[in-house]
Amino acid sequence: MPLPIGLILLIVVAVLIYFGLAERVLDRMRLTDRAALGVIALIIVGSFLDVTLVPGPMRLLVNVGGAIVPAVLAIWLIVTADTTWEKVRGTLGAVVTGAAIYAAGRLMPAGPEERAYIDPTYVYAIAGGLVAYLFGRSRRGAFVAGVLGVILADLAHYVQLLVTRSPGRTWLGGAGAFDTTIIAGLLAVFLAEVIGETRERLQGGPQQKRGGDPSRDELAQPGSQPGREHRHRKRNRPPKDGEENE
């Protein structure tokens, strides 16, 4: 049985983190290497654990690794955000992303023949990742919007079953939803990193965004005052995720 694409991506990300190739992204998200690897391990182990929240003909299940662990991480990123605007933007981004994924599900072909050529898992994941980046913008906000957006879309589907009294099963973070959640979250962060970094470089770096730093070369000049040098270094620190170029 082939490994799910979401699990493969997690393994790839874990390797990148282990070799220090994701340090910049993790710094922007305020995560250490150990914490990120711990979260990935919990997601992988939790993917084998399901909890039934509502039994009966309209069942509601939740996968620990595919929904609970990513949701807890996303909520933690919102709570620890530096500004109120970043918190609001991440929350609104999740709602808009969830609405986009739910709408995509309504527009997808219902027949099995059509779906044989279009896998809904990747359609939802790509749509969720793109919308999550556009509304989240920062690495933290994009991840929050991507992960919570998928979960909100699944919850909207369950509400639809309740309203129409249609028997069925909603599996939060399980089966294809696991891949959708992981792909949407990682794609949103990837877009935020690549596009954000590209824009920073085109605009001369994050310092230029704040009006530039014409005295940067003074650090190398002899006779510079220690206190002044310290202030320059503090000003030239890498921007926090909420401050990055958007």
Domain ranges of the chain: 5-202
pLDDT digits (tens, 9 = 90+) for 8-45: 999 999 999 999 999 989 998 889 999 999 999 999 99
Which one-letter amino acid corresponds to residue 199? R
Higher pLDDT, 237 or 150: 150
| 176: confidence class by pLDDT, cuts 50, 70, 90 | confident
Query: Which pTM value belongs to this model?
Result: 0.79
Q: Does residue 207 surpass a pLDDT of 60? A: no
pLDDT on residue 117: 63
Cβ contacts of 54 within 8 Å, gap of 6 or more: 60
pLDDT digits (tens, 9 = 90+) for 157-166: 999 999 999 9
